[in-house]
Amino acid sequence: MYKIIAISRYGRETIDTASTKKEAIFLANEYQIAYGSEFSIIIKQ
């Protein structure tokens, strides 16, 4: 299980999960576009 985590100046929050690494990378890229440059999106296993 992979967690997609958003980090901003206000803290961090798990915003989604994925079962495969490929899906996690896809979701992280989509969230980065949606959330913009104020957020860092990371993946943790």
pTM for the full model? 0.90
For residue 39, give its domain range: 2-44
Total number of domains in the chain: 1
Q: What is the pLDDT of residues 1-45, one digit of tens each?
A: 999 999 999 999 999 999 999 999 999 999 999 999 999 999 999
> Do residues 28 and 2 make contact, with C-beta atoms less than 8 angstroms apart?
no
Supply the pLDDT for residue 19: 97
Task: Give the C-alpha distances (Å, rounded to integers) separating 42 from 4, 10, 18, 32, 33.
Answer: 6, 16, 13, 9, 13
Residues sharing a CB contact under 8 Å with residue 14, sequence separation 6 or more, in sequence order: 3, 4, 5
